[in-house]
Amino acid sequence: MTAFKKIEDHLRKEAKNLLEGGKVTLVLAYARGFDEKHPVPCVVKAAADADHLVFNEYCTYNMARYLTRYPVGTKIAVAVKGADSRAVVQLIQEGKVRRDDLVILGIPATGMKNQKTGEVIDAKTTASTINPVLYDVLLGDEIHGVKAGSPYDVLAEFEGMDKDARWAFWKKEFERCIRCYACRKACPMCYCDPCFMDASRPRWADKSPTDDGTLMYHLTRFYHLAGRCIDCGECSRACPVDIPLHLFHKKVAKECEAMFGQAAGMNIEDKPAMANFKGEDSDQMLG
Amino acid sequence: MKKIAIDQFSELVKVLAERGPLYAPVKGKEGVNFQAIKNPADVTLDFYNTVLSPKSVFFPQSEDMIRYRITHGATEAQPVPQESRPAVILGVRPCDVRSFEIMDRHFLGAGVIDPYWKSKRDNTTVIGFAFDVSAAADPADFYNTFGYGAADPEGSDVFMVRTDKALLLKSMTDRGKKLLDSLGFLQVAGAQDEKVFEETVKKGKAVRTRSAEINPQVIAKKLVSVFDNGEFWQKVTMACIACGACTYGCPTCYCFDISDEMLFKEGSRKRFWDACTFTDFTLEASGHNPRPRIFQRYRQKVCHKYSYHVDKYGCISCVGCGRCTRVCPVNIDIFSIVDEANKL
Ligand code: SF4
Ligand code: SF4
Ligand code: SF4
Ligand code: SF4
């Protein structure tokens, strides 16, 4: 694997060239935060600022999350790791961003760490996508020979529970939810404006943090992400009270993959599973 | 001054919990947070600071103000009675203790007295708890900026210091003295203990957090003068995803929303935390929003705390606890932003 420091050098160089050559007007990547272990997502607009960019094991953010902020037609270079690149692909499939507007700077990386715990997060979230699935420039060598497990391995314990135990599990987890909405806001696929939770006519769920409203929020969000979640794990990492949202998303993703034969954001030619109809689609969900 | 052996601590917790509501730090999956204590064994003193602030004891995330029932042609409505039992909150870090006074200025001193805050505040004895003065401060903290030390007893009713074998409890107010006097099983502390207490307070002054020269009056004016510097605000808030984590974690954020929520014929009028960073924070019924952009809303957060609050209440509404930075999913750091604005 290419050392993070080297990737950082390449990132700076590419950003500088792209901005100088006028190929893009902005570069979405990472910069130093209040210390090294706490980088921040950043946008660079001038070649002279490219030297502020950083890359290290704490650059966990999925920068694809920021793409939908800019009007279609804005030329953007975006730094993406494996799972992040799937978000870009999924956004292209959904017509939210245009392939020609983007210069995708791919970063093959393993050993990314959770900022809060220092724990290596690969196995938890991005297990199957170490290398970006789509890119224009690679900022490091592709990684081969690492034994990548299935992204669904972490579900073993959860799947071992019966229906009642699962219900009890989620009810207990959601008791901690403070409805800060960091999960939806960190998610690259949660771009609805307004989100159903912010609508007041009709009001879909209690605005105050009642248990029922919280359940309504999460279950609806889980289903809105069906066939769209690209397994970056940002929702769980963003949560200030550590609710393992990615487990539910993975479970839905697994069932979706089994039913419709495609995982989200893997192939730019695919149509989003929930927006497509094929004769051979599973009708299991109807029965 | 009183003291109790560490291995007797659960005895103290038990008595306090039996007498009335006791709020204390409890370890959960997400870290340590204040909770109403049902089981004395749940209380922990092994934590740096709680993930969320202690404000929820006086200003719960959601609170019913009126309960009502709609019957044939009429609505029966009852105000919700306010808590009147004496309560104790135990284990509040010095910087967080200061947040209560700041919140008092708003909820009690703005010309209108907020009965919900007042009833709980009036009935609650605050037991402050010194940080471990031999350990480094968390890198996100910046309470030194406001002149607070890691073991400042000011503002607490009782201040608690942990030594190897005991907890020293010193009353700082009449209310605190009353509480300690009522706990007959506490030992009387000796001269040596007094010395340790004083030394801890002193050592607390030497624990360094990040710090900046911030004069309330100066920064208040400065922020108004850079209000229109959109480029600056957009730059420093670019990463912000407009969630509510920083606000919900903050001990001095007091914005709330009010809504009637009903199931079938019964419902309540509630107030619950709101956050200035939310998309719909100042969304008007017409559909117009005077702060549609994230940088405008985050600017409101900074200017409210460091400028408008100074004008209105004479102090900055921030205690440098570092929580907003710690819980922010993208590491937005209010300290750096204010510091940068100060130098513009
Ligand atoms: S739901 Fe979570 S894991 Fe899935 S794309 Fe959104 S943030 Fe990433
Ligand atoms: S980030 Fe966590 S606490 Fe916040 S709304 Fe989502 S699940 Fe709830
Ligand atoms: S603004 Fe941040 S540092 Fe200041 S009191 Fe609130 S949470 Fe603490
Ligand atoms: S500063 Fe951080 S915690 Fe606060 S709204 Fe923005 S992203 Fe959320």
- Hey, where are the domains in chain B? 2-206, 216-343
Residue B125 has pLDDT above 90, yes or no: yes
Ligand 1 proximity of A186 Cβ (cutoff 6 Å)? yes
Q: What is the pLDDT of residue B263?
A: 86
Mean local confidence (pLDDT), B255-267: 92
Q: What is the pLDDT of residue A285?
A: 66
CA distance readout (Å), B112 to A29, B80, B140, B272 = 48, 19, 35, 19
- Spatial strand order of the sheet with B256-263 comes to B74-79, B62-71, B266-273, B256-263
pLDDT in tens, B26-47: 999 999 999 999 999 999 999 9
Pairing type for strands B31-36 and A102-106 reads unpaired
- Contact residues for B141 (Cβ-Cβ < 8 A; gap 6+): B95, B209, B210, B320, B321, B322
User: Atom 6 in ligand 3: which residue has the minimum CA distance?
Assistant: B250
Question: What is the residue-level pLDDT of chain A in tens, covering all 287 positions?
Answer: 899 999 999 999 999 999 999 999 999 999 999 999 999 999 999 999 999 999 999 999 999 999 999 999 999 999 999 999 999 999 999 999 999 999 999 999 988 999 988 888 876 666 568 899 999 999 999 998 887 778 888 899 999 999 999 999 999 999 999 999 999 999 999 999 899 999 888 889 999 999 999 999 999 999 999 999 999 999 999 999 999 999 999 999 999 999 999 999 999 999 999 888 888 877 776 65
Give the other-Cβ count within 10 Å of A127's Cβ: 22
Q: At what angle do helices A163-175 and A211-224 cross, to 10 degrees?
A: 110
- Å between B103 CA and nearest CA of chain A: 21
Q: Which two tokens stand for residue A12?
A: 């700076």
Degrees, nearest 5: CA angle B215-B218-B222? 130
pLDDT in tens, B173-203: 999 999 999 999 999 999 999 999 999 999 9
Q: What is the pLDDT of residue A203?
A: 87
CA distance readout (Å), B320 to A138, B141, B273, B336 = 41, 6, 21, 12
User: How many Å apart are CA A215 and CA A219, to the nearest integer?
Assistant: 6
Give the other-Cβ count within 10 Å of B213's Cβ: 9
Mean local confidence (pLDDT), B304-320: 97
Which chain B residues have a beta carbon less than 8 Å from that of A193?
A: 279
User: How many Å apart are CA B246 and CA A180, to the nearest integer?
Assistant: 9
User: How many Å apart are CA A136 and CA A129, to the nearest integer?
Assistant: 17
> Tokens 């907003």 belong to which residue?
B324
Residue A99, classed as helix, strand or coil, is: helix
**Residue of chain B whose Cα is closest to the Cα of A63:** B239
Evaluate whether A133 touches A89 at the Cβ level (below 8 Å).
Answer: yes
Contact (CB<8Å) B238/A41: yes
Mean local confidence (pLDDT), B266-275: 96
pLDDT in tens, A111-147: 899 998 888 887 666 656 889 999 999 999 999 888 7
User: How many Å apart are CA B33 and CA B27, to the nearest integer?
Assistant: 7
pLDDT in tens, B210-222: 999 999 999 999 9
Q: What is the pLDDT of residue A147?
A: 74
Ligand 4 proximity of B296 Cβ (cutoff 6 Å)? no
Q: What is the pLDDT of residue A286?
A: 60
Contact (CB<8Å) B241/A61: no
Which chain A residues have a beta carbon less than 8 Å from that of B238?
A: 41-43
Evaluate whether B244 touches B278 at the Cβ level (below 8 Å).
Answer: yes
Residue B270, classed as helix, strand or coil, is: strand
Q: What is the pLDDT of residue A127?
A: 57
Q: Closest partner residue to A185 among B242, B248, B257, by Cβ?
A: B242
Give ipTM to 2 decimals: 0.94
Q: What is the pLDDT of residue A134?
A: 97
Give the closest ligand to the alpha carbon of residue A248.
Answer: 1
Q: What is the pLDDT of residue A128?
A: 65
Contact (CB<8Å) B248/A209: no
Q: Closest partner residue to A181 among B62, B244, B333, by Cβ?
A: B244
Distance in Å from the first CA to the final CA of chain B? 48
The mean pLDDT of chain B is 96
Residue B302, classed as helix, strand or coil, is: helix
In chain B, what percentage of residues exceed pLDDT 70? 100
Query: Chain A residues within 8 A (CB-CB) of chain B?
Result: 33-35, 38-43, 61, 65, 115, 176, 178-182, 185-186, 193-195, 198, 206-210, 234, 237-238, 240-242
- Quick check: pTM over 0.90? yes
| CB-count exposure of residue B232 (10 Å: 0-12, 13-18, 19+) | middle
